[in-house]
Amino acid sequence: MLRNTADSWGAPAKLFHWVMAALILAQIALGVMAASWRVSPAKLELFFWHKSNGMLILALVALRLLWRLANPPPELPSGMAAWERAAARLSHLLLYALMIAMPVTGWIVSSASNVPFRIFWLIPLPAIVAPDEPTADLVALVHGGLAVLLALVLSAHIGAALRHHFVKRDAVLERMLPGIRRAP
């Protein structure tokens, strides 16, 4: 039940996928709200949750990648065309890259803006760059641009999962769902 097999995901891989999916979707909403809110205590509160949740995502993706290194993913269904395999590989690679690049660019913005901050009230976030307003402004643009890219790749990802289930009628969506070990 723990390890991935040739045709299914093990429980830890599913748990990583769905917990992180929920945290990332919430994170995009929090980011858009925090950035667009008028200056107020509520805006600071939204940034507190955005930054804390974002650093949690960074820690989780590191653990998830370690687990994935020790657990090769299941094979794709044999009927998939070469372009579909390439699209799946590229989009998953992009999603992992963005799960790292989003928090790291956010961390740079936070450091460059020189706002002291404790992750979930507990762990002081160390600065990874020196305070500098132009850096903060530039990397904030990169962070926002990458968020748009993430939203686009995620739309394709979710669309592809639904296409596998409802159009191609293969086991790709079902094998990622909790509780289902192997699709019929």
| C-alpha radius of gyration, the chain, whole number | 19
Give the start-end residues of each E strand in 44-153.
118-119, 123-124
Cβ proximity of 50 and 34 under 8 Å: yes
Site for ligand HEM contains 14 (CB under 6 A): no
110: contact with ligand HEM by CB under 6 A: yes
Residue 32 interacting with ligand HEM (CB under 6 A): yes
154 binds ligand HEM (CB under 6 A): yes
Q: Pick the piece of the chain touching ligand HEM (CB under 6 A) from 38-46, 52-60, 78-86, 127-135.
A: 52-60
CA dist list (Å): 180 to 22, 43, 67, 124, 127: 19, 41, 20, 40, 43
Question: Binding residues for ligand HEM, how many (CB under 6 A)?
Answer: 42
Binding residue for ligand HEM, selected from 11, 15, 21, 97, defined by CB under 6 A: 21
- State yes or no: residue 31 binds ligand HEM (CB under 6 A): yes
Binding map of ligand HEM across residues 64-83, x = CB under 6 A, - = no contact: ----x----xx-x-------
* Helix 82-112 vs helix 133-166: crossing angle, to nearest 10: 150
3 state DSSP class of 162: helix
**From candidates 140, 169, 170, 179, binder to ligand HEM by CB under 6 A:** 140
Q: Does 95 bind ligand HEM (CB under 6 A)?
A: yes
Short-list 81, 130, 89, 86, CA closest to 108: 130
Cα–Cα distance between 58 and 150 in angstroms, integer?
15
Angle in degrees, 0-180, between the axes of helices 41-70 and 11-36, rounded to the nearest 10: 160
Is residue 19 a contact point for ligand HEM (CB under 6 A)?
A: no
Question: Is 128 in contact with 107 (CB distance < 8 Å)?
Answer: yes
Which stretches of the chain bind ligand HEM, using CB under 6 A? 17, 20-21, 24-25, 27-28, 31-32, 35, 50-51, 54-55, 57, 68, 73-74, 76, 92, 95-96, 99, 102-103, 106-107, 109-110, 140, 143-144, 147, 150, 154, 157-158, 161, 172-173, 175-176
